[in-house]
Structure 1
Amino acid sequence: MRKLSTLVFVSLIAGLPAAVNAHDVTAKSDPKVPAAFDITRATATTDGRLATFTMEVTGKAGSQKPKKVGKLQGSKVDAYVWPTKLDPSAAGFGKGSGILALAITAHPDFDDTPLYDENGDGDPNNDGAGWHSHWVVLVDDKACGGGLKVRDISPGQDILPATAPGLPIALDSPGMSSILKGKTVKITVPVLGAESINFDAVAAKLQVHAEGKSPLLCVTGTYKVASGNLSLPGVIMKKNK
């Protein structure tokens, strides 16, 4: 399994220039990667108010999910993630607090979208197993197998969006609907200032700490990084009318 290095994280924070004419992120198919996470292309556009992020894989998007372990502690998360160079304040987190990433996740052992009933069964507290969206802030942590974690926070002290679900991590659950159809993963989100911002695409594995301690939610590894090195070569382009 691929790992994300501390050097990569430092490069992200320092800010790398966009590659010339690198608007989309493309990758060759890799037979060693599960087809549901074998990213071949990622794009992002904005009309100034809404931004649309897409990912294309070789298999059926969303067809693979983590196995249930029966409790929050030690549970696993699969995710399609777009790390960006947007400042976290664009999504309501503290300014300069880490890497702002948009994620579509599935985790059958807990529900972190308490305001929404994604499966439409009348119970808003049993939806974690279905694919759903989040904004997250990622930071470096050598204790995590992938070198990154969702930032641990102190509720009531750290700046969080109004729709944060109450977990002690920099995670927002604003209820943005994701679309997983055929080979495509797609989501449209309200965000200002996205034009010309760099991004990448990652299929990642995460895990909750076995004892519920910090780091609470680690990136344990990746199925695939579209750029190959998390250099964020993609550019969010202005949408043509």
Structure 2
Amino acid sequence: MKLAYFAAALAALAAGQSAQAGGSHAAAHAEPLLSDAKEGIAADTDIRSVQASRSGGHVTFRMETGGAAGSTVPAATGSLGGAGVQAYVWPLSLDPSAAGFEAGSGTLALVATAHPDFDDTPLFDENGDGDLANDGAGWHSHWVVLTPNDGCGEGMLSVKDIPEGAAPALPATWPGLPLYIDSPGYSPVLNGKEVSLTVPLAAEALAFDGVTAGLQVNANIHAPLLCVTDVFDIASGDLSLPGKLE
């Protein structure tokens, strides 16, 4: 998948974002967003369908793959610099302020990630061993804001950096990293070929897509801190967010 194309599509999406008015949606189900099988990628990154459904004040996002979801995890290197991140990503039409970030700051995405070389969920002990700082290898959730960033390479993109001295609006569970990232503690569910996440969201219409991707921490541990390095699959093929949840 060409990353420059992905970044361009993301920039166009962010430029065209607008809040979508909605009423009181007690329950709603989006039509599944179907994706053909791909060759040459790991089966658990080969997206077959993406769905979203609302029940009360919560939305569940699902992604079905061609293999056992979550079976591909980056190899541990023992170092934060250059550490790899594996991700299932749901880009959304919602403004980043819907998750507590600065309004208009980029494209909001919900992600399920795994990265054995570092822990970025300081409030949670996902593996239950009493240590809050050793859980990165397990699948966990984030809200992130994505933006094009030529510092990752021409036409590439990253999780948005927070410049030194800046004080943007951030979620209450921001983990303290200089990034537009939230560690809200929602637990991904991996069941066979499917990964899903249920999150609280205000009752408004939204559009969504599905992406499988690899990211990498800058080897020098400075901005751009977390770059997208691989896009394995995009459910829509063009990041047009054709999934609609009313």
TM-score, length basis structure 2: 0.89
Q: Is the 8 A contact 1:2 1:223 kept in 2?
A: no
Counterparts of 1:157-172 in structure 2 under 5 Å?
A: 157-172=167-182
1:3 corresponds to which letter in structure 2? Answer: L
For the structure 1 residues 97 and 61, does the alpha-carbon distance in structure 2 shift closer, same or farther, using more than 3 Å as the test? same
Q: Is the 8 A contact 1:3 1:147 kept in 2?
A: yes
Give the Å deviation of 1:71: 1.1
2:138 corresponds to which letter in structure 1? Answer: G
The aligned counterpart of 1:12 is 13
Counterparts of 1:45-194 in structure 2 under 5 Å?
A: 45-145=53-153, 147-154=156-163, 157-193=167-203
Q: Is the 8 A contact 1:24 1:235 kept in 2?
A: no
Q: Give CA-to-partner distance per residue, 1:191-238, whole Å, 9 cap, x none.
A: 114x4311100001100001011110001121111111111111124x
Q: Give CA-to-partner distance per residue, 1:153-209, whole Å, 9 cap, x none.
A: 14761111111111100000010011011010011001114x431110000110000
The aligned counterpart of 1:3 is 3
The aligned counterpart of 1:43 is 51
CA distance in 2, matches of 1:54, 1:152: 28
Give the Å deviation of 1:4: 4.4
CA distance in 2, matches of 1:176, 1:2: 31
CA distance in 1, matches of 2:145, 2:72: 24
Give the Å deviation of 1:83: 0.4
The aligned counterpart of 2:240 is 231
CA distance in 2, matches of 1:9, 1:137: 11
* 1:207 corresponds to which of 203, 207, 216: 216
2:172 corresponds to which letter in structure 1? Answer: A
The aligned counterpart of 2:27 is none
2:129 corresponds to which letter in structure 1? Answer: D
1:39 corresponds to which letter in structure 2? Answer: I
SS at match of 2:152: coil
Q: Is the 8 A contact 1:49 1:191 kept in 2?
A: yes
The aligned counterpart of 2:22 is none
CA distance in 2, matches of 1:27, 1:188: 22
Instruction: Specify every segment of 5 or more residues in structure 2 that has no aligned partner in the other structure, as ranges.
Output: 19-29
Give the Å deviation of 1:101: 0.2
SS at match of 1:143: helix
Give the Å deviation of 1:25: 1.6
Overall identity of the aligned pairs, in %: 53
Give the Å deviation of 1:132: 0.3
SS at match of 1:13: helix
Q: Is the 8 A contact 2:173 2:184 kept in 1?
A: yes
Give the Å deviation of 1:16: 7.7
* 2:38 corresponds to which of 30, 37, 45: 30
SS at match of 2:151: coil
Q: Is the 8 A contact 1:209 1:215 kept in 2?
A: yes
Q: Is the 8 A contact 1:152 1:216 kept in 2?
A: yes
